[in-house]
A = this chain, B = another copy of it.
Amino acid sequence: MGPAEDGPQPVPHREGGPAKRPLVATQVERPACCPKYHQAIELIGRRWTGAIVSVLLRRQALRFGEIAEAVPELSDRLLSERMKELERYGVVVRTVRPGRPARVEYELTEMGRALAPAVRELERWARRWLA
């Protein structure tokens, strides 16, 4: 089941204490994991999905074969699965351009392009910290 079907996850509440209570050493308030962030990272962090988004961010529109070439270790079957998932989320749009043969192109939607700052920051981290 993908994150889309999961819906927001419950955020645990601690009994007692006002909501805006400052975080103190006794840690009466527990940090709760943001369900939307969790959903986002589960989408983008899926095996290969981050790589696909990163590749699409550098171009206007790409054909299936071009994406496959840019992420060479990904099988066509898995790439097709990932593209459908990204389409379902609204991150990617698939366009069939008429012609012989018809040309199928994928590009990021506004929602997908909005991932650029997160991807850039992660790329920066990776360059600095991964050997």
Q: Hey, which bits of chain A sit against chain B, CB under 8 A?
A: 9-10, 12, 23, 27, 30-34, 36-42, 44-47, 49-51, 54-55, 58-59, 62, 66, 69-73, 111, 114-115, 117-130
Q: Chain copies in the assembly?
A: 2
Docked complex Cα distance between A101 and B52 (Å): 47
Given contacts A40-B130, A122-B41, contact A54 B33 (CB under 8 A): yes
Which residue of B10, B37, B44 is within 8 Å of A51 (Cβ)?
Answer: B37
Docked complex Cα distance between A46 and B130 (Å): 16
Q: Give the top 8 A-B pairs by smallest Cβ distance, nearest first.
A: A45-B45, A41-B50, A40-B126, A118-B121, A36-B126, A118-B122, A117-B121, A31-B58
